[in-house]
Structure 1
Amino acid sequence: MLLSLTVLPSLQATAQEQGRVQPYLLSVRRLYENLEYERALEQLSRAKRLSSGKEEDVLLSLYEGAILADLGRVEESEAAFKAALFVRPEAKLPVLVSPKVEERFEAVRRQVKQKLEAVARGQADAPVQVPPPEAPPTPVPDAPHAPALAPEAFVARTSSGQGRRTGAWLPATIGGGLLVGGGVCYLLARAEHSKLRGSDAGLATREDVKRSASRGKRYQWMGVGLAGAGVVGLGVSAGVYLLGRPSQARTLGVDVSTDGTSAFVQGRWP
């Protein structure tokens, strides 16, 4: 009787405390799914004051890490994940997160496991190998000042049509292809026409004759359209080529001079 009177009240108090945390967890989950991260953190801070055990602490830390990760607070998120994983290394996130957050969580889990394995082997205080600092770069002496250039230092000659001439092949190729396609369509139209005039055996019914005539007309219009587009393409190619013919060379002159303290640049455009 005395034992039951002593233990039962403590069990009831623990159950009441656990029941007080659960509504906050439900609220946090709902706020997280609605992307209300700041309010979810407020609810977490209230729930932490009512936590009654390690399991609830782990769950609260996992929620906190996920929310902070979505807020972009990476270091705080990893600290919350570590607080949960050091207590329960196999814990899983209680909510569905993005692949990026999931990958970061698993990376923290690997770090925690390595640390725990090192502690188990007695290597927790092993010195960390720090790479030697890189040698500072050797200063490069300043290059001596270049002597002043005499007037009429250089003359550049440009040809404006060279680039246009090299680009004339593209419309020519397209135009030629369109002409070939027009020729093929014309031959198909003539074939259908020959079937109609020669009473082909495949034209057994009136519907067959109508379909053959429709195909011939379609091939004919397609041939005319492709041939016209091909002629246009060839005309564009010829125009580009003619406009890009090399003309009289243009001269670009630049003069550079100095009086010992300043530099002067002058020139003329074509």
Structure 2
Amino acid sequence: MDLRIVLGVSLMLASPAWGQPVVSPGPDFQARMSAASRAYEELDYEHSLEQLDSAKAAASDGGERGRVAILRGIVLADLGRRQESLAAFKEGLSLLPDASLPVKVSPKVSRDFEEVRRNVQRELARNPRPPPDAPVAIADVQPEPALSPGLVPAPAREEVRRTPVLPLALLGGGVVLGGIGGYVGLQSRSNVNAAREDDFYSDRTAHLDSARGQALAANILLGAAVTAAAGAAITWLLTGDSPSPRTEVTP
């Protein structure tokens, strides 16, 4: 297979324009909930609460509002705001009486959650409520037509072809940088998990600081890897078609 085709496919997969779907602007409930969960796992509680506010505004029925309230109760519990946490649990379980905790929590938070559930169930037994609003039907969205790949021109006939060294070096460097970036990213995630398990606030903060630094380094390395891959493709396209000089001796 022509090496230019391999480099072209690698560049398209690495580039955000080819590797990621286009997301239309506007509120999106699931995206906001996922962002809130990620922020909570990274101990960024204030950002998690901001995302939950956005998710609540984008919720389309009582079930989604219940999910927002339950996750908010978990975040508030970790912040030490127990009364607000209990109120959020009550709001969520009133909408979703059979809901479970979406993330791993401490035994104390789990006990509070189950105690609130029992109280809500007793209230619902005395005063039954209608089920949460039915989900709002969303109109089918026609998928965007897939971009047809560009035609790869057939290589020109030539007597002698030389393999450019610079594109291969850039591609190899990109692979190495990407591997290092992935490893540093895994170390960042490990520090976040360690912070979640520590009981002391100072230890959690130290792990979190390390995780943030490693996440920044991983992002820089991955960006450099993408840049190297792009440079390899561009350099190959600019120099790959140049035939090496050949001297012919005619009798």
With normalisation by structure 1, the TM-score equals: 0.37
Structure whose residues are more often strand by fraction: 1
Greater Rg over alpha carbons, structure: 1
User: What TM-score does the superposition give when structure 2 sets the normalisation length?
Assistant: 0.40
Which structure ranks higher in relative contact order (CA pairs < 8 Å, sequence separation ≥ 6)?
2
